[in-house]
Amino acid sequence: MKQPSLDGLMKNVDSKYTLVVTAAKRAREITEGSLKLVESNSYKPVTVALEEIANNKIGYERTKSGIK
C-alpha cells in the first residue's frame, strides 16, 4: 500500500494535531515491539501507524489532559 493520503486520514480524525499525536504514539508502540495491525510493505513505524489509522484499526480518545 502506498502512503495513505491526508484526505483519507482526515476522515478518521478531527484535526491534523490529533492525527500527528495519534500516529506518533502508535509508532512508538510499534517501535517498542507491539504487533502491527495491518499488513504493510513498509518497515517504518510512522508509515505503519498511518496505514492503521487509514484502515480504522486504531482510534483515539480525547481527554482533558490530552489524547489517549
Give me the pLDDT at residue 1, please. Answer: 53
Give me the pLDDT at residue 45, please. Answer: 95
Alpha-carbon Rg for the chain, nearest whole angstrom, is 11
Q: Residue 54: how many CB atoms within 10 A of its CB?
A: 17
Range of the domain at 41: 6-58
Give me the pLDDT at residue 59, please. Answer: 85
Give me the pLDDT at residue 61, please. Answer: 84
Domain count, the chain: 1
**Residue 30: inside a domain:** yes
Give me the pLDDT at residue 49, please. Answer: 95
Predicted confidence pLDDT, tens digits, the chain (68 residues): 577 889 989 999 999 999 999 999 999 999 999 999 999 999 999 999 999 999 999 988 888 887 77
**Residue 65: inside a domain:** no
